[in-house]
Amino acid sequence: MTLNLKYGILGVLLLALLTGCATTTSPTGRRQYLALSDSQLDQMGARAFSEMKMQQPVGKDARQNAYVQCVVEALVKQLPTELRSVPWEVAVFVDDTPNAFALPGGKVGVHTGIFKVAENQDQLAAVLGHEIGHVYARHSNERASRQVATSTGIQVLGALAGVRYGQTGADLVTQGGGMAVQLGILLPFSRVQETEADDIGQRLMAQAGFDPRQAALLWQNMIAETAGSGRTPQLLSTHPDPQNRIQELQKAAPSLMPVYEAERRAGNVPQCGN
């Protein structure tokens, strides 16, 4: 058996082992591998958020803060009980980049630059619903667990190769194996997470009384805002291609309109601003 073929088989076995070790399911029913406790991730999220607030300027605009808080509260009400009971915290950071994030433990950050692309409360809900969707689906835990597992697996394969082929063989596995796992597991898996967060966030929007059609418009605005900045090819990116993302959001919106309209008829009409 050639060296490349041997490593190829070992790599396939490693990939099969890692992708088969699911211990739970995401809100969309996708199998997940989680090796860390939620409390660990919550502590890490809280610590990271505290450090951000110390290192980055926090916005003092009361209207902006109330606006974001209102949208977050409306979305959080649609989460399962255990997540609704989390002490959610919101901060607006003075940063011109159009970005937002949510961390385990219920920490939500919004850059002031997001207001350039989120033209109304529905579009802001699209951004924040997506980010809260990551927390709901425990994506941080899942990604950290996968990284731990792949790093450990590559080290084991490298040790085995070193016994048979010496240091050169070990280096080939740890270096080449790292690239193979990055391309074969971690990056595509991140794209799966991003697409799943889009699905979850758009549904949370509709359930909270925000127009799910606005999610696609938000991404159109984002493309226009970042035009000319260049983009990493999808194969090497952690995010779906923007045009593909828009098409999927547009496709999903009609099935969510009955949910949105029922909520509005029931009086669930957010009045957050813009």
Three-class DSSP labels, 106-168: CEEEEEHHHHHCCCCHHHHHHHHHHHHHHHHCCHHHHHHHHHHHHHHHHHHHHHHHHHHHHHH
Per residue in 260-274, pLDDT (tens digit) is 999 999 999 999 986
Nearest CA to 253 out of 209, 216, 208 is that of 216
C-alpha angle 191-147-5 in degrees, rounded to nearest 5: 90
> Given this model, what pLDDT does residue 61 score?
93
pLDDT higher than threshold 50 for residue 81: yes
Is 151 contained in some domain? no
Per residue in 217-268, pLDDT (tens digit) is 999 998 887 766 665 544 445 667 788 889 999 999 999 999 999 999 999 9
Please provide the size of the chain in residues.
274
Q: What is the DSSP string of the chain?
A: --HHHHHHHHHHHHHHHHHH---EE-TTS-EE---S-HHHHHHHHHHHHHHHHHHSPBP--HHHHHHHHHHHHHHHTTS-HHHHTS--EEEEE--SS--EEEETTTEEEEEGGGGGT--SHHHHHHHHHHHHHHHHTTHHHHHHHHHHHHHHHHHHHHHHHHHHHHHHHHHHHHHHHHHHHIIIIIHHHHHHHHHHHHHHHHHHHHHTT--TTHHHHHHHHHHHHHTTS----GGG-SS--HHHHHHHHHHHHHHHHHHHHHHHHTT-------
Is 22 contained in some domain? no
pLDDT higher than threshold 90 for residue 31: no
Is 157 contained in some domain? no
Please report which confidence band the pLDDT of residue 133 belongs to, taking 50, 70 and 90 as the band edges: very high
Please report which confidence band the pLDDT of residue 137 belongs to, taking 50, 70 and 90 as the band edges: very high
> Given this model, what pLDDT does residue 238 score?
63
> Given this model, what pLDDT does residue 226 score?
72
Is 172 contained in some domain? no
Domain extent, residue 53, equals: 36-144+177-265
pTM of the model: 0.78
Highest mean pLDDT among 4-13, 143-152, 160-169, 205-214: 205-214
Is 121 contained in some domain? yes
Is 261 contained in some domain? yes
* Average pLDDT, rounded, for the chain: 79
* Residue 271: φ, ψ to 5°: -125, 70
Q: Which of 43-47, 61-65, 81-85 has the lowest mean pLDDT?
A: 43-47
> Given this model, what pLDDT does residue 90 score?
96
**Residue 177 falls in which region: left (phi positive, over 0), alpha (psi -120 to 50) or beta:** alpha
To the query of whether residue 194 is one of the catalytic residues in this protein, the response is no
Is 155 contained in some domain? no
**Number of domains, the chain:** 1
**8 A C-beta contact, residue 94 and residue 61:** no
Is 7 contained in some domain? no
Per residue in 168-180, pLDDT (tens digit) is 444 444 444 444 4
User: 83: burial class by Cβ within 10 Å (0-12, 13-18, 19+)?
Assistant: middle
pLDDT higher than threshold 50 for residue 211: yes
Q: Which of 73, 82, 131, 196 is catalytic?
A: 131
